[in-house]
Amino acid sequence: MNEIPHGAPQQQTFYELVGGEDTFRRLVHRFYQGVADDPDLRAMYPEEDLGPAEERLTLFLMQYWGGPRTYSDRRGHPRLRMRHAPFAVNRAAHDAWLRHMRTAVDELELAPDQERQLWDYLVYAAASMVNTPG
């Protein structure tokens, strides 16, 4: 049995290090404020209210970074490429997504190493969603 000895430091998850749920809710809320005013990205969201999309992304990012597994409990495996396949995600959408996410990340004012780790993932994730040339 692998027990942590009494008094041994426990490693915090990235989720915990950056402030937990509040940080991810602020990040995603600010991101969707940008999406709401972006005609190209907004067209990719069929729901009139962006609230459900905001909640899904928040739960996904919280889980990805070591927080609660609520996303998978509610929706199953993330399967991000499959879930985004119905939408034509081109380079312009990729760039717009990152532009709004950059604003949101900057407003968190994370420590430089945490900001870099988060940003590197977001750049990777955005690139992996591109499924349409142009």
Report percent pLDDT > 90 for the chain: 66
Q: Using pLDDT thresholds of 50, 70 and 90, give the confidence band for residue 82.
A: low
How confident is the model at residue 125, as a pLDDT? 94
Domain 16-129 has CATH 3.30.429.10: no
* Total-model pTM: 0.85
Q: In the chain, where are the structural domains located?
A: 16-129
- What average pLDDT does the segment 115-124 reach? 98
Angle, helices 91-108/112-129, rounded to nearest 10 degrees? 160
- With a cut of 80, say whether residue 1 has pLDDT above it: no
Query: Tokens 């950059």 appear where?
Result: 102
pLDDT digits (tens, 9 = 90+) for 46-65: 778 899 999 999 999 999 99
Percent of the chain with pLDDT over 70: 86
The mean of the pLDDT values for the chain is: 88
pLDDT at 80: 67
pLDDT, tens digit, 9 for 90 and up, residues 8-39: 567 899 999 999 999 999 999 999 999 999 98
106 pLDDT band, cuts 50/70/90, is very high
